Copies of this chain bind each other. A is one copy, B any other.
Amino acid sequence: MTRFEVLILGNSSATPMYGRHPTSQVLNFNEQFFLIDCGEGTQMQLLRYGIKGSRISHIFISHLHGDHYLGLVGLLSSQHLVGRQSELHLYGPSALKEILDLQFKHSDTRLRYPLIFHPTNAYRQEVIFENTQLQVTSFPLQHRIACTGFRFDEKPRSASLKKEEVERLNIPVPYRRLLKRGIDYVADDGTVYSAKDLTYAPPQPRSYAYCSDTVMNADYLGAIRGVDLLYHEATFLHDRIERAKETFHTTSLEAAQVAQAVNAKKLLLGHFSARYKDLQPLLDESRTIFPHTELSEEGKWFLV
């Protein structure tokens, strides 16, 4: 099965405490590496967990609060210094480009590799990246400033042939490709060979959704419906629901409600407030509603 998993580099909200780090994650999809948010210290966390920066081809930044992007200039500069030559694609709010340009101007840095910037739109859902295997969609969240989530969808794969059967029936080679796409083969004598009988169904396409910072609302549920793994911020316990609303954040109970509402298979909580040294209560609270919850522990890989 194609590798599809996410490594947590940081699970803290804006004031990092107890050795926790600001938000960042690495998604490995079939040995393509995608960085999702890039809080301060991300380049050191990548080193700690043995991920070479040079393997990252795409970076997605949800919004311009510092705890989600302040590690970016350091990472981009280090990639420059270690001689990166391959393209790096960066997705984020348009002002991010302005911030990077200003910092590179004053450090007199001209990157030696192509950094290709793709502005995101925080006001409508759109496909921002696509290749033969994967599609990435950004969608609006509701935070204090413009903010997007990201959804990573594996593309449907074709069925695989039951080779021995196909050989035995002597089905002509050009029709085998059609069988894999679900099209029955009709022989010259009129016999119908069902694609269903001659193929193994492909694995269900998997999906991962990342909801960085947001108040809970119904608007983004459509964008994350049916995901296998849902990362959702859970800054506070529900006894601080008022504080969560004030600061445009979510409680762990609400994160569980979201996971339930969109019929996610599994929920990953993160973006923990400095208020909580012990995170178990956040996990327990979420599990009262949505048992398949995990804490996004730093350094841990989670399968999608």
Using a CB–CB cutoff of 8 Å, the interface residues on chain A facing chain B are 14-17, 19, 21-22, 40-41, 43-44, 47-48, 64-67, 70-71, 73-74, 77-78, 81-82, 93, 95, 98-99, 102-103, 106-108, 144-145
Closest to A108 in B: B145
Q: List 19 A-B contacts (CB under 8 A).
A: A14-B78, A14-B81, A16-B43, A16-B44, A16-B47, A16-B78, A19-B48, A40-B70, A40-B74, A41-B41, A41-B44, A64-B103, A65-B107, A66-B77, A66-B107, A93-B106, A99-B103, A99-B106, A106-B145
A74 touches B22 (CB 8 A): yes
Closest to A96 in B: B106
Q: How far is the CB of A272 from chain B (nearest CB, A)?
A: 14
Most B C-beta atoms less than 10 A away, residue of A21, A98, A103: A103
Bound together, the chains give a CA A107 to CA B62 distance in angstroms of 12
Measured between beta carbons, the chain B residues less than 8 angstroms from A47 are: 16-17
Bound together, the chains give a CA A71 to CA B98 distance in angstroms of 19
Bound together, the chains give a CA A77 to CA B70 distance in angstroms of 11
The listed residue (B21, B22, B77) touching A14 by CB distance below 8 A is B77
Closest to A63 in B: B107
